[in-house]
Amino acid sequence: MNGFMITVSSLFLAFVISRVSAIWTWVGVLVLSAQVLSHFLTFIVNPGIPDRTKTGHPHCSKCGLPRDATKGILHCDFCGVCVEGLRHYRDKQRIGFNHHCPWVGKCIAKNNLVLFYVFTVCTCLLVAYIFVAAAVSS
């Protein structure tokens, strides 16, 4: 899914770039580069999988990782591991990991949530750029 998304964006961007001015070209390349970089960083950062060597906490029956109840650790059935959650400041409770993202192919949790937001914003900007550049070029 990751390669498909980047390939389609790159091909359509290449089509649009050939029809717009130099400033629009650089804007498109910058937005696409930011999207690809944020996607890559979201993918490689550990979302919050706990260290397997910790002792003194109960372990998950599915994956065997330690599950500290005070850290809001939940099991992700897609990845097959437990992921440390996020702190919800409104009611002072941890809500577990955010979600498993099929576009990134990884859990989104406390360590890669900001990168995921950057990726989402860059993707929206890229879609907006493609629509505006297509309208300007025609």
Determine how many CB atoms are found less than 10 A away from the CB of residue 82: 26
101 is catalytic: yes
Query: Parallel, antiparallel, or unpaired for β 74-76 and 81-83?
Result: antiparallel
Q: Which residue has the tokens 């690809």?
A: 36
Report whether 80 contacts 64 (CB < 8 A). no
Catalytic one of 76, 82, 101, 107: 101
Adjacent-strand bridge partners of 87: 94
Tell me which residues are annotated as active site: 101
